[in-house]
């Protein structure tokens, strides 16, 4: 059975995330999703993020039928170590990461998922702010 890894913030879930999980699950037997810790999200996205704490994000992800396991990580080194420890065969990342460094790629084959136009948690939050004003 192949183990597939994907990771991200997954703060505000949208259809792009679900389709990524469905694709990732379809190419392997087990899907492990890594999520950035709350501290890491604040560092990467700013003090107003995450909207949902890591425990809630983890619980929501575990309720999705394609996701088998969720692991919280805090640093790039931590992320790479988790990919190695879980013996991932494949890492699935969004196509917007082509030609960028993929953490953990020394341990597993990288496959790209074609990202849906304008689908991102950041974009969703921008739309909410726009409609609220």
Ranges in the chain, pLDDT < 50: none
Task: Tell the residue number behind the tokens 């597939």, with chain if given.
Answer: 4
Angle at 40 between CA 65 and CA 81, to 5 degrees: 70
Tell me the C-alpha distance between 26 and 2, whole Å: 10
Task: Give me the pLDDT at residue 126, please.
Answer: 74
CATH number assigned to the domain comprising residue 82: 3.40.50.620
Task: Give me the pLDDT at residue 102, please.
Answer: 96
Task: Give me the pLDDT at residue 1, please.
Answer: 85
Task: Give me the pLDDT at residue 121, please.
Answer: 65
Tell me the C-alpha distance between 71 and 58, whole Å: 8
65-94 in b/e burial notation, b at 16+ Cβ within 10 A?
ebbbebbbbeeeeebbebbeebebbbbbbb
Q: How many domains does the chain have?
A: 1
Global pTM reads 0.90
Domain with 59 in it: 3-132
């Amino acid at each position: 059975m192949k183990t597939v890894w994907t990771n991200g913030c997954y703060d505000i879930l949208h259809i792009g995330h679900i389709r990524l999980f469905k694709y990732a699950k379809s190419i392997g037997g087990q899907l492990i999703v890594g999520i950035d810790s709350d501290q890491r999200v604040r560092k990467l996205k700013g003090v107003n993020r995450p909207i949902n704490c890591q425990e809630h994000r983890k619980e929501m992800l575990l309720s999705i039928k394609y996701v088998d396991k969720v692991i919280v990580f805090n640093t790039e080194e931590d992320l790479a170590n988790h990919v190695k420890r879980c013996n991932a065969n494949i890492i699935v990342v969004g196509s917007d990461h082509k030609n960028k460094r993929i953490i953990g790629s020394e341990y597993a084959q990288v496959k790209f998922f074609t990202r849906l136009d304008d689908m991102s948690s950041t974009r969703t939050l921008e739309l909410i702010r726009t409609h609220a004003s």
